[in-house]
Amino acid sequence: MSKKSITIIDYNMGNARSVQNALKKLNVEAKIVSKPKSLENSCAIILPGVGSFKQAVENLKAKRLFQEINTLVLDKHIPFLGICLGMQLIAQDSTENVLTKGFGWIKARVRRMDLEQQYRLPHVGWNQIEKRGNPVLLSRIENHTNYYFDHMYAFSCSNLSPVSSTVNYGNKAIISSIEDGHIFGTQFHPEKSQLNGLRVLKAFTEFVWSNQQC
């Protein structure tokens, strides 16, 4: 049997290589995969991504990855980290371009940010996050740590229990990370956030090691 590994999903939405390079700095090996069979020996899944929600869902389904990821995460409880667009795909749906269903693991929707006119979209740049509670993914960082963001749409949910941090941009407190058991997501890009981004990835890998034989 092949050794289990952390797998990074390549579905033509970018950033897979950047995440792999960031993990290498932590001396963590991760495979980039684009076929459902390659996920069989996953001990954790990372889904990065930038761009359109609708295109992302179409790409995952065209590669027959959507259902495989859903099965592994929901039925086999494989730890999951979604980054930026990858986090948004955890939600029930998005209205970007046209209403499109996501994985629906979190009772949330993805909507265009409604900001005062003087605040530009997309939200691009460095901003401090506000931790909520004692999240596993943010256990290695101080509160009000800066992270790099690049997005126009954001999570919206009435049940805030999965929300592990927020970021203030314009007149809104925007959800910047979530965690629900073995499911994690960051709206910011840890792979582009230098040392503090590596600390988030380190916390995720430590969670994986403590819960899986990887």
Residues belonging to the active site = 84, 189, 191
User: Tokens 């993914």 label which residue?
Assistant: 137
Q: Which residues neighbour 28 within 8 Å (Cβ) at sequence distance 6 or greater? A: 6, 201, 205
Task: Fill in the DSSP letter of residue 41.
Answer: T
The b-or-e profile of 114-135 (16+ CB within 10 A means b, else e) is: eeeeeeeeebeeebebebbeeb
- The CB density around residue 136, as the number of other CB atoms within 10 Å, is 16
Q: Sheet of 153-156: strands edge to edge? A: 100-101, 93-94, 109-112, 153-156
- The CB density around residue 77, as the number of other CB atoms within 10 Å, is 13
Which pair of structure tokens corresponds to residue 111? 């909507």
User: Tokens 């006119």 label which residue?
Assistant: 117
Give CA–CA dist 98/152, Å, rounded: 15
* 159 CB-contact burial (10 Å; exposed 0-12 / middle 13-18 / buried 19+): exposed
